[in-house]
Each structure stands twice: as C-alpha cells, then as structure tokens.
Amino acid sequence: MWIWVLSRSSGGNVGSLIARAHRYGISTLMIKSGDGASAWSQFSRQLVSSLHAGGLRVCAWQYVYGVHPVGEARVGAAAVAKGEAKQGPGGKRPEDQKDPFEPNPLAGDGSGKFGDKAGALQAYRADLAISKRLVAADPDSAEWQNDLGISHGRIGDMLLGQGNSTEALNEYEAKRAINERLTKTDPDNAQWHRGLATALIKIGDVQMAERNAAEALTLFQAGRAIRERLARTDPTNVQWQLDLVIENWRLAVKGDEPAARWAFMAASLRALKEQNKLAAEPTRWLAEAEAHLPSEPELAGARR
C-alpha cells in the first residue's frame, strides 16, 4: 500500500490502517518520509513500531530532486534510523528521545528482560554499527551522537548482566564521553545531561561490582546531582522527579544518609500520588519507602 499523506489514509488512524491492510492481504506499507531536503514528520519511530506490532512491513519513500543532495541524503538517513536503527530484539523499539536503559535499583539491571541474551547482545551490536555509520555520514548531528551513546549503554548493560565488567566499563565510558561532549556543545539540553547522569551511574555500577565502593559512591552522587538539577529545573516533569527518587534510593541502600533519603523519597512519591501522577509501579515504591521510615515509638524515643 502506497501512502502519500497519512492523515488522508483511514483518517490517520493506525489501527484502522492495519485492519484495512490485512483485509486486502497487504503486508507492506510505503509511507512518504520526505520531500527533497525536508523530512515529513508523519514517518516516525512510533508509527513504525505500531505498524510492526500490527504485523506489517514498513518502507519509507521520498522525492529526490538532486538540488540539495547532502540535505536529501540526511532526510533519507533519518528515515532509515526511524525505521531500523533502534530496532531491538523481537521487533521492540524504545521510545523516541529516551534512554531505554535508565538504571532502576527496583527493577535490577535491564539485561534479564530478554530470554535470548546472546541474541539480544548481537542485535544491539548490529544497532551500534548502524549508529556509527549514521554518525560517520553526519558528524555534526547531535541526535546521531546521542543515539550512538544509547547503543553503547545498552551493550554495557548486557555485558554487565553477564558479569563482563571490563567490557561493560568500556561501553559506559564511551557513552559518558559522548554525553560530555554533547553537554559542552549544548549546555541547555536536558536530554544530554540526563544521558550523562545515566553513564556516570552505570560506571558506578561497574565499580560496585568490582568492589570499589568509595569510587562507586562518588559516581552515584555525581549522577544524583545531575538528576536533582533537572528535577528542580522543571518540577512538573514527573519522569525527572522519579529519576531523582531512584537515585536517592540507590544511595540509601548503599548506606549514604539513608534516613534522610528514605524520607525524601516518601515525601516526593506522596506528592506525586496526591497529584494523581503516580503510576502503579511507583506506587509500590512509595509503600517500600514508607516501610523504611521510623515508627512512632522510634520517633518518640529519639525525641527523648
């Protein structure tokens, strides 16, 4: 099925589009992704993921006029990235503009989410190779640089989960170097700072695995400091508030000012819950944080 304007095909309703394709035995959609040097926003990672989930193949097409060849090539590369570069095992794709392996002490490391770990690692290394080609084609693209850092981080998570801390450290250091460059180039970009915090924290995980507790704690604190700055910058951003909760959690279980950190976490999660901004999983975090708070008898004893 050839689609020029998505909004004029089944009213732009992806579910209806999938049903219509299957009804007529169509297995592949050709969707316009650009015109000359201008990318069309209708061709997105979210769209591709939804169509893949509906059992359809997806191809991008664009008009190429030859007037601005470099710009037209960039539009084509962008379409490739949206349709292929971040494809994970089993056709899964992380959300746009989000580092998919944000460390979460409540969930453990991310490597256990796929049964075929060797296959997952192979897929992520293939993903890394694609990201490297995109960066080589357009070294000035901050987006491709960030994607490359994400790829390094995902491979690092897989390796660390397999007990290969030496190679995992190399991957995390590569991610840190990329995000440090990005934050220096664009210091106001919160996404780059969030990625840097992730890299620091994951390097801390490696140091903890290597029993370098003091160095790990320093890295965890540095990551938490970045999370705190982001959370203060935008108190309405729920994800950033939860990021800060998670990093305080990480430090509390390592024995770093646990009483103050449990109290902060409980207060933060309660505030989000009162605003009806707390999903089911973080609601369980609240119960666990409150379980670490001192009881009334303990408080009474402390006041004496």
DSSP code of 278? -
pLDDT single digits (tens) 122-148: 878 887 888 888 888 888 888 889 889
Residue 118 has a pLDDT of 74
Residue 258 has a pLDDT of 92
Q: Which helix (H) or strand (E) holds 28?
A: strand 28-35
Are 154 and 100 in contact by the 8 Å Cβ rule? The answer is: yes
Are 39 and 65 in contact by the 8 Å Cβ rule? The answer is: no
Per-residue pLDDT band at 84 (split at 50, 70, 90): low
Are 243 and 227 in contact by the 8 Å Cβ rule? The answer is: yes
Which one is predicted more confidently, 15 or 201?
Answer: 201
- Look at residues 304, 303, 263 and name the one whose alpha carbon lies nearest to residue 286: 263
**CA 286 to mean position of chain CA atoms:** 23
Check pLDDT > 70 for residue 238: yes
Per-residue pLDDT band at 248 (split at 50, 70, 90): very high
Residue 253 makes CB contacts below 8 A (sequence gap 6+) with: 105
Spatial distance between the Cα atoms of 263 and 127, rounded to a whole number of angstroms: 41
Residue 85 has a pLDDT of 40
Spatial distance between the Cα atoms of 46 and 50, rounded to a whole number of angstroms: 6
pLDDT single digits (tens) 89-132: 333 333 333 443 343 444 333 444 445 677 778 878 887 888 88
Residue 98 has a pLDDT of 41
Mean pLDDT of the chain: 82
- Mean pLDDT for 243-251 is 91
Residue 296 has a pLDDT of 55
In degrees rounded to 5, what are phi and psi of residue 39?
-80, 145
Per the structure block, which two tokens stand in for 281? 């999983």
* Percent of residues, the chain, with pLDDT higher than 70: 86
- Mean pLDDT for 218-236 is 94
Spatial distance between the Cα atoms of 248 and 258, rounded to a whole number of angstroms: 9
Check pLDDT > 60 for residue 301: no
Are 94 and 86 in contact by the 8 Å Cβ rule? The answer is: yes
Per-residue pLDDT band at 219 (split at 50, 70, 90): very high
Residue 116 has a pLDDT of 61
Spatial distance between the Cα atoms of 256 and 265, rounded to a whole number of angstroms: 14
Residue 75 has a pLDDT of 86
By three-state DSSP, how is residue 48 classified? Answer: helix
Are 134 and 77 in contact by the 8 Å Cβ rule? The answer is: yes
By three-state DSSP, how is residue 141 classified? Answer: coil
- Look at residues 209, 242, 212 and name the one whose alpha carbon lies nearest to residue 228: 242
Domain spanning 86-210 has what CATH number? 1.25.40
**CA 242 to mean position of chain CA atoms:** 14
**CA 110 to mean position of chain CA atoms:** 11
Per-residue pLDDT band at 297 (split at 50, 70, 90): low
